[in-house]
Structure 1
Amino acid sequence: MSSESIAFLDLPDERTLVGYGPFHTTNLVPKSGAAFYRNDFGLTSTEPWWIPERWEVLPRGSVTGILGEVPSPLACAWEAPDASEFATVFQEISAAIRAGAFEKTVPVVVERGQLEELPAQTLLSWASTCEAPLFAYGFTDGESGFAGSSPERLFSVSGSVLKTMALAGTARAEERDVLAVDEKEIREHEYVAQSIVAKLSDIGNVRRSPRGIMELRSIVHFHTPIEVELSGYESPDSLVKRLHPTPALGPLPRTRETMDQLISWRRRLGTPEGFGAPFGAILDGEFHAIVAIRGLWWSGTELILPAGCGVIEASRLVNEWRELRLKREAVKARFGF
């Protein structure tokens, strides 16, 4: 890989791990030091651990000191996504739900843009300036990469304690009070929370906190913290496979067949393989992974902005299309577009 390669991820303790390439990859969990975890949505990578040539831990928000001051926003010629393609997939999903193959799944729509210059430094810088509860993340090899500010922690493990969350159910910030009593959004959130609790119940003592609302400037989400006192050692690899994807980004029930179908829908709609995938870091034995959402992917000067929506039996096409636009607008605002 190019010596220009760099990766970073905000940690839960107000620090940021930064790794500098070239990276080398391995299928073995590093026993010491630092490494990043990169995989695709289908977890097909045989060597998901990326070990940097050198690394450092910085106070959160300090990555701009490496990249330079946050530049002016990039000029981008955006191309609106095709509603007809999404409508076709939505109808197929609705039919599959009625037939009993799914209770819920998450199609993704992408908006494409064309830039006038390579965007890595600018997009990484803008991503790195986010504040909690968002987690900044990014990677570039100089020509391609991704960067974002994710509100969703897949999980963190420190000692014998695992922390994760259910994050599902979305509304505009000014509709916060309506979200709190929206039966469809509550049902969608409960699908996610109950599924996560069930997947963790056989490896430790699970404690689920009450459902609350996470406020993220222009949008709000239902949010339920979940904590597990693990009964024994669980490797990061096994925990990723156990938890990814949660029904917030994946199918319910999650089987090989429903995952294959969702990946087929994602590819038809042009979704980057890394969108919604786990992106993580291990540092001296502690592991932290976010869900790679609310971000941008690029190759050369082509930009891709993906957004997903949870579809259940009660979902309606117009409402889901509106939610997708809301999420994309939030990402554009984060990156200065």
Structure 2
Amino acid sequence: MRHGDQWVLIEGPFHPSSDANRDEITVFFPDFYDLGSSPALVGAKTYRLSTEELRKNCEAFLVHAPPTEAPVRKASWEEPLKEHFANALKITQDRIAKGEIQKSVPAVFARSRQTVTAPERAQMLLRLLEAPSTLYVYGLWQNGEGVLGATPEVLFDYSKGYLKTMALAGTCPKSEASSRESLLQDEKEMQEHLYVLEDLMSVLHPWGEVKTEGPKIVELPTLYHLKTDIEIRCKTKPEFFSLIKQLHPTPALGVAPRSAGYKWMAEFPGQEGRRGFGGPFAFIGKEEALCLVAIRNLQWNRNTSMIGSGCGVVAASELEREWRELYQKRLSVRKILGLDV
């Protein structure tokens, strides 16, 4: 994981940890729909490297690495079916019309029959060294499965008594920026953003006074997002695993209001193998913790790879516009990882 100007690398073997807030860094990456699906993990050794040190390590590894016969960077991708997303959009908007919910975030997945090899991970890491500071680079792999990506979204960041998070919702692909009004004047995107902001302020209020800054437009390599920064000076230090359960998922990836539940979205077509996409990806220490939202990533197992994307559906959502946004989000992953587009 990249944190500031340092890269934190944890070497296996990994073993489950039942202790919260321990001295060693604990990694927690469960399934989106089941926070109990995977234990927190502790590795054998932790390294903190500069960008240049990590670059030299990757380059040295690649000098002796055998070539990959079927590289995922040149893979052909089976794109998600538009009719599957149209079905999810209709179900969501029907529930909105009935007053059951205000918003949900369906996800779709492009899939490849090629997996990710160790040399390819090194090559992708070299690309990710150049990722802008607005993105958090993260990854975890073991036993033939893994994830690697660069997310713009933080579930929470706790350090020295301060809890920081963000409402990140409302999107405009750069390719459409000249033909659309500013996100700050876009009624649909602002409404989607406010659902997330209001939810977070409500959930976090018991921890202390909630201060916000925004909304503002943040620029990513291929997208613009609406973002409001949130900060609380906590009355007491959180128990980090409990905080994850309280916050996940925000309406940026789940459903507004929370009381409507979110696991019903698992019944949307095309959800096979979602695993941790959109879930928490946490690095937890005794006194500090950083929990990311696991989006903008490549996931793989021994036989296949997949890239997911999600979009917020509200009453005013339009199929074609949301379908283009979903594609642009997947395209951003392929570009930043150096996959053929």
Give the 4+ runs in structure 1 shifted more than 4 A.
69-73
1:42 positional shift: 2.4
Cα 1:37–1:84 shift into 2, 3 Å: same
Aligned counterparts, 1:1-337, within 5 A: 9-11=1-3, 13-45=4-36, 48-60=39-51, 62-68=53-59, 74-115=73-114, 118=117, 119-141=120-142, 143-173=144-174, 175=177, 178-255=182-259, 258-265=261-268, 268-270=270-272, 272-337=274-339
State the alpha-carbon separation in 2 of the partners of residues 191 and 116 from structure 1: 37
Cα 1:30–1:128 shift into 2, 3 Å: farther
TM-score by length of 2: 0.89
Letter in 1 for 2:2: D
1:125 positional shift: 4.2
SS of alignment partner, residue 133 of structure 2: coil
Please, which moves more after superposition, 213-222 or 140-149? Answer: 140-149
Q: Which has the higher helix share?
A: 2
Cα 1:69–1:318 shift into 2, 3 Å: farther
Corresponding residue of 1:5: none
Letter in 1 for 2:141: T
State the alpha-carbon separation in 2 of the partners of residues 183 and 79 from structure 1: 34
Q: Deviations over 1:131-156 (max 9, x none)?
A: 21100001111522010000001111
State the alpha-carbon separation in 1 of the partners of residues 205 and 139 from structure 2: 32
State the alpha-carbon separation in 2 of the partners of residues 39 and 62 from structure 1: 30
State the alpha-carbon separation in 2 of the partners of residues 61 and 115 from structure 1: 30
Cα 1:89–1:32 shift into 2, 3 Å: same
Q: Deviations over 1:57-92 (max 9, x none)?
A: 222565344433697982111112111111112111
State the alpha-carbon separation in 2 of the partners of residues 187 and 105 from structure 1: 13
SS of alignment partner, residue 275 of structure 2: coil
Equivalent residues of 2:213, 2:229 under 8 A apart: yes
SS of alignment partner, residue 310 of structure 1: coil
Corresponding residue of 1:6: none
State the alpha-carbon separation in 2 of the partners of residues 69 and 250 from structure 1: 42
> Structure 2: any 5+ residue segments left out of the alignment?
63-70
Please, which moves more after superposition, 21-30 or 321-330? Answer: 21-30
State the alpha-carbon separation in 2 of the partners of residues 46 and 232 from structure 1: 28
SS of alignment partner, residue 202 of structure 1: helix
| Count of residues in Structure 1 that have an aligned counterpart in Structure 2 | 326
State the alpha-carbon separation in 2 of the partners of residues 283 and 224 from structure 1: 26
Give the percent of matched residue pairs that are identical in Structure 1 and Structure 2: 31
> Structure 1: any 5+ residue segments left out of the alignment?
1-8
SS of alignment partner, residue 249 of structure 1: coil
1:128 positional shift: 4.6
